[in-house]
């Protein structure tokens, strides 16, 4: 609760202060070399089928759940405005256009996604209690589950390219296309119970991911924008904590993102175009 309130208050202070700065910059009517932006929004995911490999040496277990089906948990579909803003599947972007003319930027790109593996029959192969198995087990709460539910958590450091597409005569409305690509760590919250043994849930650095995005951004009155993104991501998780051992897991993701943001000029002054 304290973390959620802190995020909410921090965002309000940030948005108010940056909007004030932007208005002052606009009144001075100066052009600047660079452009900063920040956005916040929500996402929806679909995952590829995947395999979870579990290693518990002290128990004599080395087995895999093969071809499982994971799903997300948007949160906003069962009451967005009834929950704290950081409870649903949220995301944020923090970026800086280093060259506005060429449309080149760098970006910190974070997606709080959720991966749920439960309530299905799962094919398991390998060794359990030092015995070879090839069978099906029923994943059902509360006795059998595998969650990255407080986040599968994709963090990317992106290179961004922007193409201007349309602007009204007074440039109060502008529409741009953006391409993004990057790589970075995953920071999952791992919570699972396998064959009756529960891990100690918690966050950890758990591997890496890489992703590409194609986005459409509509900017209004130079400072406020709405951005819709289609994203493909591939994540590889390793050393995920399970009872008396670790797990490995990899999957692909198709993601849709809708963000609301602010953008404003920063850096040294340059001459306005005639």
Sequence ranges of the domains in the chain: 38-265
Asked if pLDDT for residue 39 goes beyond 70, the answer is yes
Q: State the CATH architecture for 38-265.
A: Beta Barrel (2.40)
pLDDT at 231: 98
Q: What is the pLDDT of residue 191?
A: 96
51 within 8 A of 64, measured Cβ to Cβ = yes
Task: Write down the residue that tokens 């944020």 correspond to.
Answer: 92
How high is the pLDDT of residue 80? Answer: 60
- 51 with 63: CB under 8 angstroms? no
pLDDT at residue 121 is higher than 50:
yes
pLDDT given at position 5: 44
Q: Give the mean pLDDT of 178-207.
A: 96
Q: How much is the pLDDT for 81?
A: 65
Of all residues in the chain, what percent carry a pLDDT higher than 70? 85
- Taking only the tens place, the pLDDT of each residue in 131-142 is 999 999 998 878
Split at pLDDT 50, 70, 90, the class of 2 is very low
pLDDT at position 228, please? Answer: 98
Indicate if the pLDDT at residue 4 is higher than 70.
no
Going by C-beta distance under 8 Å and a sequence separation of 6 or more, which residues neighbour residue 203?
150, 151, 187, 188, 189, 190
Query: pTM for the whole thing?
Result: 0.85
| Percent over 90 (pLDDT), the chain | 76
Q: What number is the average pLDDT over the span 209-231?
A: 97
In the predicted structure, residue 197 carries a pLDDT above the cut 50: yes
pLDDT digits (tens, 9 = 90+) for 53-92: 999 999 999 999 999 999 999 987 666 667 788 889 999 9
> Is the pLDDT reported for residue 10 higher than 80?
no
The 3 state secondary structure assigned to the chain is: CHHHHHHHHHHHHHHHHHHHHHHHHHHHCCEEEEEEEEEEEEEEEEECCEEEEEEEHHHCEEEEEEEECCECCCCHHHCHHHCCCCCCCEEEEEEEEEECCCCEEEEEEEECCCEEECCEEEEEEEEECCEEEEEEEEECCCCCEEEECCCCCEEEEEEEEEEEEEECCCCCEEEEEEEEEEEEEECCEEEEEECCEECCCEECCCEEEEEEEEEEEEEECCCEEEEEEEEEEEEEEEEEEECCEEEEEEEEEEEEEEEEEEEEEEEEEECCCC
Mean of pLDDT over the chain? 88
């Amino acid at each position: 609760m304290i973390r959620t309130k802190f995020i909410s208050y921090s965002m309000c202070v940030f948005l108010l202060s940056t909007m004030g700065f932007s208005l002052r910059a606009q009144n001075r009517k100066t052009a600047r070399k660079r452009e900063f932006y920040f956005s916040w929004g929500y996402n929806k995911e679909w995952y590829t089928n995947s395999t979870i490999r579990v290693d518990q040496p002290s128990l004599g277990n080395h087995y895999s759940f093969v071809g499982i089906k994971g799903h997300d948990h948007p949160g906003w579909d069962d009451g967005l405005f009834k929950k704290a803003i950081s409870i649903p599947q949220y995301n944020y972007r923090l970026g800086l256009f280093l060259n506005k003319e060429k449309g080149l930027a760098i970006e910190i790109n974070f997606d709080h996604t959720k991966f749920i593996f439960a309530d299905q029959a799962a094919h398991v192969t390998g060794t359990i209690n030092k015995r070879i198995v090839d069978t099906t087990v029923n994943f059902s709460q509360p006795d059998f589950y595998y969650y990255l539910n407080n986040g599968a958590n994709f963090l990317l450091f992106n290179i961004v390219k922007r193409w201007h597409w349309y602007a009204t005569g007074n440039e109060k409305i502008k529409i741009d296309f953006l391409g993004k690509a990057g790589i970075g760590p995953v920071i999952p919250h791992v919570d699972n119970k396998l064959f009756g043994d529960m891990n100690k849930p918690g966050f950890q650095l758990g591997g890496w991911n890489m992703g590409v995005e194609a986005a459409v951004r509509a900017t209004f009155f130079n400072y406020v924008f709405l951005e819709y993104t289609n994203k493909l991501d591939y994540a590889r998780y390793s050393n995920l904590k399970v009872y008396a051992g670790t797990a490995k897991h990899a999957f692909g993701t198709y993601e849709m993102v809708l963000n609301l943001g602010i953008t404003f000029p920063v850096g040294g002054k340059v001459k306005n175009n005639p």
